[in-house]
Amino acid sequence: MHILTRFPIVSRLTIVSLALVAVAHAGPPFVTDDPEPVDFKHWEVYLATQQNHNADGWSGTAPHLEINYGVVPDVQLHVIAPFAYDRPNGARTTYGFGDMEMGIKYRFVHETDNRPMIGIFPLVELPTGNSTQGLGNGKAQFFLPIWLQKKLGDWSTYGGGGYWFNPGQGNRNWWYGGWQVQRKITEPFAIGAEIQYRTAQTIGGSSSVALNGGGIWDLSKNVHFMLTAGHTVAGRSEFQGYAAIQFTFGSEEKPESKK
């Protein structure tokens, strides 16, 4: 994790920044995140692309690099470094480095038979992209969410939401909420679907609801392919898609599980 009525510059800036937002608080390959951090001393590295399309044109990342690291038990450090593009209808395409994202995921409640896992994942979007070319927001953005997760055999489900502080010309702060359900079909393959709700992100904008579906295919123990696609079902029409290769590795040492 996004739409607005077209304005000469504000529209282009917001389309790209919202495309990056879709990447930003994603629980890859889904937009909705989960509370489970990367294991202690383990890494997740994603080479990914995010695509958005609406009546104003195309925008997204091509590609972006996401890195997550389990720095201590129950705590994950997170960074996204994107190359962004903006292709408005009838105008030239711009391409360059976009707004970086940094965050810390902290799981403060472990899952048991009777309770879900709970965590927080505050994020900051740094204005490193060129806002005059539609490649960034021009101001820092902040997201304060809480996430829950429960696993039931081959099924898992997670979701939650939070509040975006979204400064900038024509922008307004907004709420995000989402929920995902996923099932392992075979040992290397799982599919899932999510629903997302966003309040208006711009002055004069409107709320939206989107559905998204996709899957995860474990090519090996350490290499995974992810793909999702979806569309709004309420609010302004918008397509969103995501694809990534994920690499996982790290120390085999694991701390004692907390209950």
Backbone angles phi, psi at 21, to 5 degrees: -60, -40
**Is 123 a domain residue?**
yes
Position 8 scores a pLDDT of: 35
The structure tokens 């509040």 sit at 163
41: domain CATH number? Answer: 2.40.128.130
With a cut of 70, which residues of the chain have pLDDT below it?
Answer: 1-26, 252-259
**Is 160 a domain residue?**
yes
- The residues, ordered by sequence, that sit 6+ positions from 88 with a Cβ below 8 Å of its Cβ are 11, 12, 15, 56, 57, 134
Taking the C-alpha atoms of residue 28 and residue 226, their distance in angstroms, rounded to an integer, is 8
Under a CB-based contact definition with an 8 Å cutoff, are residues 52 and 15 in contact? yes
Tally of helices (H runs) and strands (E runs) in the chain? 1, 14
Position 25 scores a pLDDT of: 39
> What is the end-to-end Cα distance of the chain in Å, rounded?
32
The DSSP code sequence of 102-125 is EEEEEEEE---SSS-EEEE--EEE
**Is 203 a domain residue?**
yes
The total of structural domains in the chain comes to: 1
DSSP E strands: which ranges in 73-113? Answer: 75-88, 94-97, 100-109
pTM comes to 0.86
**What are the tens digits of pLDDT across the range 139-198?**
999 999 999 999 999 999 999 999 999 998 889 999 999 999 999 999 999 999 999 999
**Is 162 a domain residue?**
yes
141-153 residues labelled b (16+ CB within 10 A) or e (exposed): bbbebebbbeeee
The structure tokens 């389990």 sit at 70
Taking the C-alpha atoms of residue 162 and residue 133, their distance in angstroms, rounded to an integer, is 29
Residue 39: how many other CB atoms lie within 10 Å: 19
Position 18 scores a pLDDT of: 39
**Is 2 a domain residue?**
no
Under a CB-based contact definition with an 8 Å cutoff, are residues 216 and 240 in contact? no
Position 254 scores a pLDDT of: 52
Taking the C-alpha atoms of residue 168 and residue 171, their distance in angstroms, rounded to an integer, is 5
- Cα torsion 138, 56, 179, 155 to 10°: value is -120
**Is 4 a domain residue?**
no
What domain range is 175 assigned to? 10-250
Position 253 scores a pLDDT of: 55
Report how far Cα 47 is from the mean position of its chain's Cα atoms.
14
Taking the C-alpha atoms of residue 205 and residue 178, their distance in angstroms, rounded to an integer, is 19
Residue 187: how many other CB atoms lie within 10 Å: 7
